[in-house]
Structure 1
Amino acid sequence: MAILFSSIFFYLWGAGQSFSLSKFMGNLEPVKGGLNFWALFAIYFPSVTGFIAGINMSGDLEKPGESMTKGTLYSLFVATLVYFAQIIVFGGGFERQILIDTPFKVMVDNAFLGAGFMVVAGVFAATLSSALGRFVGAPRVLQAIARDEILPFLKPFSKGYGPTDEPRAGLYLCVISTVIMFLIGGNGSGGEFLNSVASIMGMFFLYTFGLLNMAAFIELYSANPSFRPKYKFFHWSVALLGVILSFGAAILIDAKSAIVAFLLLCFLIWYLRRRDMKISFGDARRGYLYTKIRKSLFDLQFMPEDTRNWRPSIMVLSGNPNTRETLVSYAAWLNANKGIVVLANILVGSQVKFVAQRESAIRQMYNFLLEKDIKAFPHVVVADSIFSGIKILLRGSAYSPLRPNILACGWKGPVNGFQEYMSMLKEATILNISQVLISDKGHPIKAGAKRIDLWWRGRKNGPLMLLLAHLLVHNWEWAGDRIFVKRVIENEAGKEPALKALQALIADARVDATAEIVVSNSPFVEILHSNSKDADCVFLGFELPDESNCEKWYNAYESMLKDMPTTILVHSTDSKDYLANGG
């Protein structure tokens, strides 16, 4: 280091003896037909990246958090000062052509006190220090990447030797690759090959620094409380500027190479995302997404709801989803990837005793969702009873911006426990959560086009039913299937006006459906069975009964659902017209 600084002093002081403002101004203009700024920058840039040597060897530092910060800033300051001094002093000390033809000879011949040998010694010192920095740092970086198992084929480079864990395999690779570069470059002329190598190195450094700045920007912008840099005056805007400058410089140096490097980087990211990696250093994207979601939730909280931007948010009482696959499938289909589906499982027991069971149930639900490729969120609660668990689920999320607006569950079988079932539906109604009860008769098994029958019995439940049927056919499993909107009237004279009114309603809603009028005085259960028994899915509306009529209400719907295909019972608690603003 003493030789290096002495050399800098000798050649700068010697060149300064010949400095004149006229020479400096004469050399200020660029050479016609010469290299442009960015070509020179590509060659020059790698020479100022020596400050990362300390970062590469951070594992060997006693206090890396403190030493790396100070060392990086100090080295940047010193390097910038020396390079600027060299450019200004030599630019004003000698004629342009001399600097172009014999740059090194000028430094040696004009050294202070004629000590040209000090310049030669300084070149050797700088070369050795830079090379040693790379030879010591690069193998350790390679070793760290190999140990993180980011790229499996690098595993042989993870082994260390001796008390200081020396990465010998990485060192051998660096030596061999360097010798190969020298052999290739030595057979050329004019240094074009080495200039190209320097340009490629500069591209790698620029992308490395750009990604480092991007990571810092994401951490800071997402307000990650775990990201606490030692440098107190750091701001996310500085990191963002670093990203823009790094990637911008890469494009300006060589747009084609920059694009190729960017595509390779995208491929590497894609490859790493496909691998199931357990990492200890975290993922900055999670913090960034959390911040974005948090802000969006607060914005959404104060925005009034409107029918045009309505989205299904379905709470499914699925229990173990493996035993209620039809229920879960229909809930996902009715959502059609337009909203949110939450699968809820209630474990009856003590919170303390059911910790392990709850974790197991969550894993089971995750595995089910992955296996069936269903986009949903699992939610498991432990409660004293099923009904108290349902109340926890509904009340706990009733005031969130993403609160459920539809409760989906299976149609209750035998009357045993029916009062709690009705209490659950009334609880949802009080919380303004519509209900969808699915009578599970399995998935449709008919090949080809399927038929969906929707029985229109007024605007109380009809608009929500029609919208859900419209969402159902937006799934690939139901694509191209036909929706038939059916209405019952008692006399033939009213058939034509009723048909036109129903067709106008469908047209205004801009839903692809066919209107049908059924003229009959028979009980509705008979009409339903004779017209929809062969359908693949049926939509029916329902209203909750009074306390005194619960059993009668249940028996009526039980007789309707007997020998029918999968039927979706819909009760809308919202006064909104879901068919408004259909376009």
Structure 2
Amino acid sequence: MSSVSNHSLAARQASGQASGHGFGTITGVFTPCVLTILGVIMFLRFGFVVGQAGVVGTIAIVLFSNAITLLTTLSLSAIATNTKVEGGGAYFLISRSLGAEFGGAIGLVFFAAQALSVAMYVIGFTEALLTYLPEGISPTLVASLTNVAVFGCVAIGAGWTLKIQFLILASVLVSLLSFYAGAWNAFDLETLARNRGPGFTGGETFWTMFALFFPAVTGIMAGANMSGDLRNPARSIPLGTLTAVFVTGLIYLSEAILIGGCRDREALITNNLVLSDIALMPVLIAAGVFAATISSALGSMMGAPRILQSLARDRLFRTLEPLGVGSGSNSEPRRAILVTFLISQAGILLADLNSIAPLITMAFLVTYGLLNLATFYESITKNPSYRPQFKFCHWTTSLAGAIGCGVVMLLIDWRWAFVSIALFAALHWYLSKIDLSADWGNVNSGLLFERTRKNLLKLEGELYHPKNWRPFVLALSGTGFSRPHLVVFGSWLTSKTGVLTLGQVIPGELDDRHQRRISQERLLHTMIGEHDLNAFPAVVVASDYVSGVEALVQCQGLGRLRPNVVLLGCPLSVDRMKTFGGLLRNLKGLSRSVVVLRRTDDPDDDWQPPSGTVDVWWRGRANGELMVLLAHLLLQNEHWRGRELRLLRVVDNKAGIEEVRKHLDGLLKEARIPGVTKVVVSKDSELAIQTTSRNAAFVFLGMQPPNPGDEEAFFYRTEKLAGGMSRVAFVQSAGGMRLES
């Protein structure tokens, strides 16, 4: 088993994670979000979007995109205010809600998207810069040098990088003011009217434009990605991110209208620097382009390594563990920064801006969808630990966000959507196969609990109709290792249709036996895990064995979902039978069926049954119905398939053979259970049973508890009846089932 238990916390403490930078809302969240959102798409591709989709279509794209990011921000805010947020941003929040498997898969996908975002922003910066450089200079060379510079800045430290963001923000704001001033002078209502509708060319559609634009608004994670470096993440992430969403949304909506009213469609489609042409002072737009694209690249280069570092520290992928090491007092993820640089450089060498953007869109949509899904599950499970301080998120908004992300993925490009989901599913499957054990809780247990709670309440009034009878077996197995035949038989009966509880009684006083009870329960857990059993342990301390069994029988279960079959080992002495007889009578009084298992063989493998038939000796419905049903359940187990059920009865003379056989055949037919019937003529029923079933793999016989004082005679009678047969189950039925049901 691969375990991340306790390692994650230890790694974070050892590396100084707790110290952090202590950034506030403006510095750590709002400004990085705004600078990432108002980036390369706005300056270099927004005019193209307006030209293709038209003003109305662009407004729809902006509103639709912001609706998804707003819903996601609400979910992000709810989860961020419900838990102590450490480094890793969306990865940390999703993994702590949906579990290590979902978190690990989305962590890799989200990291890759952030790393490729660096390439997208660097390529955008290069496109803008090349217009001011002599012709013939290689774009790849310029982009690579820019990428190296971004890498160098971030490698120095997040503190230094974020200090220069206010200068960058000032440059962006000045460039926007220059654009608005120029647009005010150049705005023309007739031009706006001509550009109102779409004018798609070159195979473009509304959804290709949406895919091109959507990465612009994915900057909402820029602040969350810095979660480990924030002074108060629970306050800063909701406030800073929501403010950034509203401010940038208004900027994009106003720009769409102004751009559409300032230039004709051909100029919008063919000129990537149309904002510069519109601006009052074009040089300020150039400064804004450079500042915005570099700041976005810096933001992604800072965020992606922190996701990878958090993922590595959680030890979900052993090959990534070295990347969890931090440098300096602030635990800078310099190793992860290097990996991010290499991925972004690969993106620069292999792709262009238009091809990278849709891929990033899919990765972000998967991440946003899961973040919304995590919040949705947290809400509907009614987990008492889900107490977010952010009150403006409801399960309906989270569900709408998750559905919206899924629908948009399919509408943009269903092929890439399926590829993205398949990649995520493969990562999730891999993490599930290696059996992670994380030291944090997740919503899965809450979801299961809520579903189980509702189902138990429904079962309370419906469970005990004979048609719904299932074996709920309490096997008095001791430690399990001491009575393996009871564990094995109980598992055979319940593996597909029932519930198995392994019970143990520790004689003594609770004060003296408390620690032993804990250790014995742990041993039962270990055995259940080693044999992959579908079972629960139950250990009780009682003054004596009988009192302990009776306490377990009465207290196990919830409501009417409680043990209906008690599985016991057969006493091998008269003295034990004297105590055992009283227990059988009390269990009958408690309306519990009892199966007493007597086994004389000593197989090499307890889980491998012997060859032969499974014989049920019928003496009437009192115990017979339960015996036939248990035999049928036994034969449904994969270990017993291929063996034959025989329903047998002893009669005194031949005159009744035909009538009895028809009766037995009718029983099996009504019960819809395959098997054969046989009638044995004999005056000595014990001898007939031993002779007929001496080669059987298993034999079911009925019994009734002995009357007080008859325990010794009962012991010798059962011993004589079982004789030399290797495996015999004596069944005492409390009813509750019918074969014909």
TM, length-normalised to structure 1: 0.93
Which residue is 1:154 aligned to?
A: 320
In structure 2, the residue matched to 1:163 is 329
Partner of 2:254: 85
Percentage of matched positions with identical amino acids: 36
- Give the secondary structure class of the aligned counterpart of 1:540: strand
2-structure distance, mates of 1:428, 1:263:
54
Residue matched to 1:19: 187
How many angstroms apart in 2 are the aligned matches of 1:352 and 1:41? 69
What CA distance in whole angstroms lies between the structure 2 residues aligned with 1:312 and 1:324?
20
Which of these residues, 347, 367, 376, is aligned with residue 181 of structure 1? 347
Q: Which moved more, 1:348-357 or 1:228-237?
A: 348-357
Q: Give 2:55's aligned residue.
A: none
In 2, are the aligned partners of 1:307 and 1:580 still within 8 Å (CA)?
no
Deviation at 1:52, TM superposition (A): 1.1
1:159-308 equivalence runs, <5 A: 159-185=325-351, 193-303=352-462, 305-308=464-467
CA contact (8 A) 2:476 2:504 kept: yes
Residue by residue, what CA displacement relative to the aligned partner does 1:100-147 show, whole Å, maximum 9, x if unpaired? Answer: 12241x322322xx3111111111121122111111111111111111
Q: Name the aligned partner's letter for residue 297 of structure 2.
A: A
**1:233, distance to aligned residue in structure 2 (A):** 2.1
- The alignment partner of 2:179 has SS state of helix
Q: What is the alpha-carbon distance in structure 2 between the residues aligned to residue 497 and residue 278 of structure 1? A: 61
Q: Where in structure 2 are the equivalents of 1:90-169 lying within 5 Å?
A: 90-104=259-273, 106-111=274-279, 114-169=280-335
Conserved 8 A contact 1:337-1:375 = no
* Pair 1:202–1:343, CA change in 2 (3 A): same
Counterpart of 1:472 (choices 634, 658, 671) is: 634
Give the equivalent residue in structure 2 for 1:580: 740
Q: Are residues 1:408 and 2:570 paired?
A: no
Q: What displacement does 1:62 show?
A: 0.6
Contact 1:43 1:195 in 2 (8 A): yes
Within the candidate set 309, 313, 331, 2:472 is matched to: 313
Pair 1:552 & 2:713 matched: yes
What corresponds to 1:190 in structure 2? none
> Which residue, 227, 233, 236 being the options, matches 1:67?
236
Residue 54 (1) aligns with residue 219 (2) = no
1:571 paired with 2:740, answer: no
Q: Distance in 2 between matches of 1:250 and 1:516?
A: 65
Other-structure match for 2:165: none
Of stretches 484-493 and 344-353 in structure 1, the one that deviates more from structure 2 is 344-353
Q: 1:72 to 1:399 in 2, by over 3 A?
A: closer
For 1:6, the equivalent position in structure 2 comes to 174
Amino acid at match of 2:171: I
Alignment root-mean-square deviation, CA: 2.0
> Secondary structure at 1:417's aligned position in 2?
helix
Inter-partner Cα distance in structure 2 for 1:137 and 1:447:
59
Q: Tell me which moved more, 512-521 or 29-38.
A: 29-38
| Aligned 8 A contact 2:372 2:399 in 1 | yes
Paired residue for 1:456? 618
**8 Å contact kept, 2:262–2:278:** no
1 CA distance for matches of 2:725 and 2:611? 19
SS at match of 1:51: helix
Q: Which has the higher contact order (CA 8 A, sep 6+)?
A: 2
The aligned runs of 1:413-452 (5 Å cut-off) are 413-442=572-601, 449-452=611-614
Note the C-alpha offset of 1:32.
4.2
How far has the Cα of 1:449 moved from its partner? Answer: 4.9
Which amino acid in the other structure matches residue 308 of structure 2?
L
Deviates more, 1:361-370 or 1:291-300: 361-370
Higher relative helix content: 2
SS at structure 1 position matched to 2:504: strand
Of 89-98 and 461-470, deviating more is 89-98
Q: In 1, are the aligned partners of 2:506 and 2:542 still within 8 Å (CA)?
A: yes
Choose 52-61 or 395-404, whichever is displaced more.
395-404
Separation in 1 of the partners of 2:519 and 2:737? 42
Tell me if structure 1 keeps the 8 A contact 2:609–2:640: no
Kept in 1, the 8 Å contact 2:610–2:697? The answer is: no
- The aligned residue for residue 85 of structure 2 is none
Residue of structure 2 in register with 1:40 after alignment: 209
* CA 65–577 in structure 1, closer or farther in 2 if over 3 Å, else same: closer
Range with greater deviation from structure 2 (226-235 or 129-138): 226-235
**Which stretch has the larger CA shift, 397-406 or 78-87?**
397-406
Structure 1 residues 399 and 552, CA gap change in structure 2 (3 angstroms) = farther
Counterparts of 1:109 and 1:324 in 2: how far apart (Å)?
87
Q: 1:304 to 1:357 in 2, by over 3 A?
A: closer
**Equivalent residue letter for 2:478:** G
**Secondary structure, in 3 states, of the residue corresponding to 2:636?**
coil
1:189 aligned residue: none
- The one-character-per-residue Cα deviations of 1:522-563 (angstroms, maximum 9, x if unpaired) are 2x2122122112211100011123214332222211211231
Contact 1:326 1:442 in 2 (8 A): no
Looking at structure 2, the residues matched to 286 and 50 of structure 1 have their Cα atoms a distance apart, in angstroms, of 32
Q: What amino acid sits opposite 2:729 in the alignment?
A: I
CA shift in 2, pair 1:428/1:13, >3 Å = farther
Do the aligned residues in 1 keep the contact of 2:172 with 2:291 (CA within 8 Å)?
yes
Check whether the contact 1:398–1:431 (CA below 8 A) recurs between aligned residues: no
Structure 1 pair 143/447, CA: closer, same or farther in 2 (3 Å)? closer
With normalisation by structure 2, the TM-score equals 0.74
* Structure 2 counterparts to residues 273-422 of structure 1, below 5 A: 273-303=432-462, 305-397=464-556, 400-422=559-581
Tell me which of 541, 555, 569 is aligned to 2:702.
541
Deviations 1:493-547 (A, max 9, x none): 111111112111111111111110111222x212212211221110001112321
Give the structure 1 partner of residue 155 of structure 2: none
Go from structure 1 to structure 2 and tell me whether the alpha carbon gap of 1:442 and 1:204 turns closer, same or farther (over 3 Å shift).
farther
- For 2:424 and 2:275, locate their aligned partners in 1 and report how far apart those are by CA, in whole Å: 41
CA distance in 1, matches of 2:557, 2:219: 58
* 1:496-507 equivalent positions in 2, closer than 5 A: 496-507=658-669
- Distance of aligned partners of 1:530 and 1:290 in 2 relative to their CA distance in 1, 3 Å threshold: same
The 1:283–1:398 alpha-carbon spacing in structure 2 relative to 1, beyond 3 Å, is: closer
User: Which residue is equivalent to 1:485?
Assistant: 647
Q: Do 1:444 and 1:536's aligned partners in 2 also have CA atoms closer than 8 Å?
A: no
Q: Distance in 1 between matches of 2:343 and 2:696?
A: 71
Q: State the 1:470 CA deviation.
A: 0.6
Deviates more, 1:421-430 or 1:336-345: 421-430
- The whole-number CA distance in structure 2 between the counterparts of 1:448 and 1:577 is 29
Maintained 8 Å contact 2:611/2:696: no
Task: Tell me the distance in 2 between the aligned counterparts of 1:448 and 1:377.
Answer: 27
* Cα pair 2:502 2:538 within 8 Å, conserved: yes
Residues 623, 733 of structure 2: 8 Å contact kept: yes
CA distance in 2 between counterparts of 1:430 and 1:259 reads 60
**Shift in CA distance, 572/99, structure 1 to aligned 2, threshold 3 Å:** same
Which of 656, 678, 699 matches 1:494? 656
Which amino acid counterpart does residue 459 of structure 2 have in structure 1?
L
For 1:133, the aligned partner's letter is: G
Structure-2 change in CA distance of 1:545 and 1:183 (3 Å) = closer
Q: Does the aligned pair in 1 maintain the 2:476–2:503 contact within 8 Å?
A: yes
Q: Quick one: distance in 1 between partners of 2:499 and 2:433?
A: 25
Q: Unmatched 5+ residue regions in structure 2?
A: 1-168
SS of the aligned residue for 1:518 comes to strand
SS at match of 1:569: strand
Contact 1:23 1:93 in 2 (8 A): yes
Checking the alignment, whether the CA contact within 8 Å between 2:611 and 2:697 is kept in structure 1 is no
